[in-house]
Amino acid sequence: MEPVRLKPVFWDIVPIAVVFAIAIYPVFRSTDRGSVAVVYRGGERLAEIHMANDTTFEIESAVGPMTIVVEDNAVSVSDASCPKKICVATGPVYRPGAAIVCAPGKTAIVVEGRKETDAITR
């Protein structure tokens, strides 16, 4: 007796596609943005920047001037006096908890704000 072979049809794929869409939805929905960027120099709170307002300003770090840009609800360093300019290469940050650190300049910019809950356990 020969085994019966079943051919897949379109409706076999629908439940798989629905489960896949539900699984990846949180990845694309994550638009959590911080509301305030705080600038620290040598452990001291230097400035607090509201990220809703686009602005550019300069602060004095331990090694020289540093230009900070707030644009499109994100903060970045556009120019710095440190040798390797890693803080400039970091690019814009916007999520709460994200930071731009300039170690030679002893300066850090930390994004603060409401964080979205990842999971709830009981």
CATH number at residue 41: 2.60.320.10
Q: Dihedral angle at the C-alpha atoms of 38, 34, 79, 59, nearest 10 degrees?
A: -20
Low pLDDT (below 50) residues in the chain: none
> Do the domain assignments include residue 65?
yes
Domain count, the chain: 1
pLDDT reported for residue 32:
58
Asked if residue 19 belongs to a domain, the reply is no
pLDDT of residue 6: 80
Structural domain of 95 = 36-112
Give the per-residue pLDDT at 33.
Answer: 64
pLDDT at 113: 79
The answer to whether position 56 is within a domain reads yes
